[in-house]
Amino acid sequence: MRKPLGLYLHIPFCNQKCNYCTFFSVTPAEELYNLYVKGLRRELKFFKQFGFTFDTFFVGGGTPTSIPPKVFEDIIKIIMEELAIESLKEFTVEVNPESLTDDHIVLFKDLGINRISIGAQSFIEEELRFLGRSHGVKDIHKAYYKLREAGFKNINLDIMFGFKGQSLKSLGYTLEQVIQLAPEHISTYSLSYEKGAIKDLRLNDEQVLASMFTLNKTLLENSGYLRYEISNYAKPGFESLHNLKYWMHNFYIGLGPSASGYYLNGKDLLRYKNTRSMVKYAKMEREYETLSPEEWLLEEIFLKTRTKWGIEVKDERIRKKIKEELGEYTILKEGRVILNDKGLLVHDAISLKIGEIYESSGKQIYV
């Protein structure tokens, strides 16, 4: 029996693009809603043929709460009619504090959503303005407490660090405010820059970034949160089941413009990326690639070494070579290679080096 997959839905509608954002988004409009639903129905018809089942469902964007509750409900119910999502262990929706309404919250409960991710980013007004966020600190508190009053017992707060003007002191203050709220999960993302962003807001100081990375771990772990992935902390038992699909290199389906997916079709490992055009999405245009065993191996290493579980290395000679060449950055435990704090700081370089060790030894891992 095949394992259940993860399901991601990209709702591209957003009232205002943040200065750092490169995710595909458009301003809400009825014409665009119609194109979106047309493309979504085509995608669902296509994926229904595979008979996939799903145990996690993550709705992101864009800003899912930028659309009226009735529109959101119609979109989710279209998916419920076509795909096997009746046995979800985790059903998450992203919300922006300023656009979350009482009607959204009631609807989320009715739809069976059991996890909320709030895009807080900072608890300092000046930083929120600098990032181009539409909400204020009061909006974060208001959204958080409304969700608690409605009975949501699994809430994540997204926090951003590593942008110009931010200091260790201001990051520490934001983290303290988050800890006081006591969400079950905290994501701490280092701001990056990609072509298409309105501004490049990165803090180009590697030493300060490393100190911020360490501060996140120190404050959060001292407050009962465990880091289970480079950027993610959770109270025991509240790790994100959906995001673990990505990091543990499991299969998932992405719906919506710009969404991507990864699944097994016969013996082929397929990865696809949907178009970033609403018109082309309505025609279900996407790009495919078939992963070779070598590409699969590099992804396996890159993703799993982000986590506290690391990657299983069955060959003793490879484990020995990793210890010899990367002992300063890794921990070898029960046949697994796990990156330590120093290794996680330079994760990309270390994972690439592990891949080179595999290639030089002539050993490969297969699905």
What pLDDT is recorded for position 180?
98
CATH topology of domain 5-246: TIM Barrel (3.20.20)
| Runs of H (alpha helix) within the chain | 30-48, 69-82, 102-111, 125-131, 137-149, 168-181, 206-221, 241-247, 278-281, 293-304, 316-326, 341-345, 347-361
What digits encode the pLDDT tens for the residues 99-146?
999 999 999 999 999 999 999 999 999 999 999 999 999 999 999 999
Among residues 354, 334, 330, 326, the alpha carbon closest in space to that of 344 is found at: 330
pLDDT at 364 over 70: no
What pLDDT is recorded for position 366?
39
Domain boundaries of the chain, sorted by first residue:
5-246, 293-367
- The pTM score is 0.94
A 10 A CB-CB count for 108 gives 27
User: Poorest-confidence range of 20-29, 113-122, 149-158?
Assistant: 20-29
- For the chain, what is the mean pLDDT? 93
What digits encode the pLDDT tens for the residues 192-221?
777 776 778 887 789 999 999 999 999 999
Q: Phi-psi region for residue 142, left (φ > 0), alpha (ψ -120 to 50) or beta? A: alpha
What digits encode the pLDDT tens for the residues 58-84?
999 889 999 999 999 999 999 999 999
What digits encode the pLDDT tens for the residues 229-266?
999 999 999 999 999 999 999 999 999 999 999 999 98
Residues found in the chain: 367
